[in-house]
Structure formats: C-alpha cells, structure tokens
Amino acid sequence: MLVYKIFRTPEMEAFMKVGRTAGAPVDLADGYVHLSTSKQVAETLSRHFVGEPGLWLLALETDTLSDLKWEPSRGGDLFPHLYRELMAADVLWSREIPLGPQGHEIGELE
C-alpha cells in the first residue's frame, strides 16, 4: 500500500540534499513523520496547506517502512505515522503538487 508525505519546497530541498529528514516542523514537534493514505491526502492539503504553493508529494510503500504505526487522528481515522527518519531510499516517487484555481491538483493516487 502506498502512503504519502507532503513537503514544502524548502523542506523537500533540504531532504534531497541530505537524503534523510526527521520531517517538517509539525513532525519534529509531534515526534514522528505525519503521512497520509491516498484517501487522506486531499483533506490533509485542505486542512494544513490551503492555498499554499510550492508543495511536493512523496509516495512511500508501507511494506518497506520499519517503525510505521497506524494511529487514530481526526475523526477517529487511522493515520500512518513514521517513528524514525524518512530516508531518500524510502521514496518511490515524488512530484510537485500544482495549485490551480480550485486548489491543489493531486491527480490520481495509487
């Protein structure tokens, strides 16, 4: 199963430069890397990144992620949380998320 991480451009650039990251500021504050399923990405974007340009979507395969836990979050939904650094080797693919007139355009996932 694929799960996704959203980064701002400076976070993505730092990640690509070093090849690992403990995550964005919210991840550092919470002690784990916040991830989303394909069904959760749009809501994550609308709650935490509304109108924000310069975003990146990274796809990760759950079968290869050690220290991944599924924990209840908003509305009781289970969200994937990574309790270790995110490594460049974890990323299957990444792409920019365009910001269009109707909001972020994520296209088809999975």
Q: What is the pLDDT of residues 45-99, one digit of tens each?
A: 999 999 999 999 999 999 999 999 999 987 889 999 999 999 999 999 999 999 9
- Spatial strand order of the sheet with 55-61 comes to 2-8, 55-61, 91-97
For residue 102, pLDDT over 90 is answered with no
Does the model's pTM come out above 0.85? yes
Architecture of domain 2-101: Alpha-Beta Barrel (3.20)
